[in-house]
């Protein structure tokens, strides 16, 4: 509970690095919440466990309550980042949280693969939201490679819809 609360105060570093004004940058909790909402409402019925997906979405960035939001510009290797995050989740004390986080990180189950795609979808949509609010910013780098990474047709359609969404 305390770790999740701390995520409300941690700004997403990539957006800060891209020059989005701090007062407009989403928190890690904001991001995780939208990922969880997408998972909850878009999880297909059938063989996938929707509750597991929502729970995975809620814990996928929980380690950042300890490590902060490490980006490629942070100077920490992917391997070291993964080790730091696993240790952070382990310190939170719940085997269930650790198990969900590890499943997400490995990306080997249908649920974890879909949540990982949703995480990318959220980043793509957020980049477009920021560009509408800050037309002087080019955030195309945050959308690079999404077509290769998002394979689910329903999610691909949402990316396309976000491109033409009106300013809110």
- Cα distance between residue 44 and residue 120, in whole Å: 18
- Cα distance between residue 109 and residue 141, in whole Å: 28
Q: Note the CATH architecture for domain 2-163.
A: Orthogonal Bundle (1.10)
CA dihedral sign of residues 62, 82, 91, 52:
positive
Instruction: Give residue-wise pLDDT tens across range 100-128.
Output: 999 999 999 999 999 999 999 999 999 99
Q: What is the pTM of this model?
A: 0.93
The domains of the chain are located at 2-163
Instruction: Give residue-wise pLDDT tens across range 43-94.
Output: 766 789 999 999 999 999 999 999 999 998 999 999 999 999 999 999 997 8
């Amino acid at each position: 509970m305390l770790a999740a609360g701390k995520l409300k105060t941690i700004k997403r570093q990539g957006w800060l690095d891209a020059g989005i004004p701090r007062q407009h940058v989403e928190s890690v909790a904001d991001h995780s919440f939208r990922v969880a909402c997408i998972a909850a409402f878009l999880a297909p019925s059938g063989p996938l466990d929707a509750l597991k997906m929502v729970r995975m979405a809620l814990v996928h960035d929980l380690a950042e309550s300890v490590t902060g939001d490490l980006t490629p510009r942070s100077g920490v290797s992917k391997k070291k980042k993964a080790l730091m995050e696993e240790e952070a989740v382990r310190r939170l004390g719940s085997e269930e949280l650790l198990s969900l986080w590890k499943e997400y990180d490995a990306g080997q189950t249908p649920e974890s693969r879909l949540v990982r795609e949703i995480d990318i979808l959220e980043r793509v949509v957020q980049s477009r939201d920021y560009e509408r609010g800050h037309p002087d910013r080019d955030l195309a780098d945050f959308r690079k490679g999404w077509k290769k990474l998002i394979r689910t047709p329903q999610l691909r359609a949402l990316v396309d819809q976000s491109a033409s969404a009106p300013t809110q």
